[in-house]
Structure 1
Amino acid sequence: MVTFEECAEMLDEIADSMPTELFRDLNAGMSLVPQSKLHPQSQHGELYILGEYVRSSIGNSIVFYYGSIARVYGSLPKERLYTQLEKIMHHEVKHHNEHLAGCDDLGIWDDEQIEEYLRSNGITE
């Protein structure tokens, strides 16, 4: 697995390659934190939150969880990890832009993925 610093550099490079307009009103910025974060509906301790779009009283931000990324993608070669980081970045930026547009299609899709995960674990709501 790449180091925390290498992961941060990769995320910076990915963000720098994207149009700046996509980050409009992301006024609390983006951060990479060292911890991992389990999804609250994880059934067996295997469902990690890799990134998260956060809206709070201090502003809109995106948080990336290095510990989660390391647990899920830690065995990937650097090039393949970079591709996964791009996917995570694009996903979270899409959440931000959908919020600005007043829709939540990606949030609905995320919820559907969790419902499918729960069904596959024999849990029906």
Structure 2
Amino acid sequence: MGAAEKEEPDPRPGAGRPLGEGRAMTFNRFVEAADRLASQIPEPLLEGLTGGIQVSREERQNPDDPPDVRILGEYITDPFLGAQIVLYHGSFRRLFAREPEEVWLEELAITLRHELRHHLETRAGLSDLDREDMEELQRLWDEWLAITEGAVDEEEGGEAGDPAKLEP
């Protein structure tokens, strides 16, 4: 790396910290943290969220997403249960098991805000966040394909290819 180049910090939660400094948050502690965060949301923003904010033990993964992507939370509308937000403890556990509690709490707050925004946009007839989510998913696919293509090319003794030419 040249003198003029500056290495960008890794944006991932807990990046730069040795693994093993944290431990998985228990399900009960996770529920308590989610309840505490939910209690801080102004009532008008929760209007129409008839199914409330739920916590599931499940680890959730969409088969159409890159293999290492997990769904941390989901805004669901159901004709019988109404609108609800579900937070997936199992997915948090998969991604943040070795992270300290402050990382769990930060990611939980980010996820709850994200799903609440889905709720508010749906009520307003907007889909900006849906588009942002699709763009982020495409970025994750591009990143995953670049990594896997690079690994295949290195095994074959070549250089990384153009991930845009690969089919997901």
Root-mean-square deviation over aligned CA pairs: 1.4
* Structure with bigger RCO (C-alpha 8 Å, 6+ apart): 1
State the Cα deviation string for residues 12-42 of structure 1 (Å, max 9, x = none): 0011112111111000111111110112223
Return the offset for 1:56: 1.1
Moved more, 74-83 or 56-65: 74-83
Of Structure 1 and Structure 2, which has the larger fraction of its residues in helix? 1
TM-score by length of 1: 0.92
1:6 maps onto 2:29 in alignment: yes
* Amino acid corresponding to residue 46 of structure 1 in structure 2: D
* Amino acid corresponding to residue 2 of structure 1 in structure 2: M
Q: How many equivalent pairs are there?
A: 124
Percent identity, aligned pairs only, is 29
2:124 aligned residue (89, 101, 105): 101
* In structure 1, C-alpha distance between the alignment counterparts of 2:68 and 2:41, rounded to whole Å: 31
Q: 2:75 — aligned with what?
A: 53
Unaligned stretches of 5+ residues in structure 2: 1-23, 146-162
* Amino acid corresponding to residue 80 of structure 1 in structure 2: V
From the CA coordinates, give the structure whose radius of gyration is larger. 2
Unaligned stretches of 5+ residues in structure 1: none
Q: 2:65 — aligned with what?
A: 42
**Counterpart contact for 2:65–2:137, Cα < 8 Å:** no
State the Cα deviation string for residues 36-80 of structure 1 (Å, max 9, x = none): 01122233x311000000011121011111100111112221122
TM-score by length of 2: 0.70
1:115 aligned residue (133, 138, 141): 138
* In structure 2, C-alpha distance between the alignment counterparts of 1:11 and 1:124, rounded to whole Å: 38
SS in structure 2 opposite 1:15?
helix
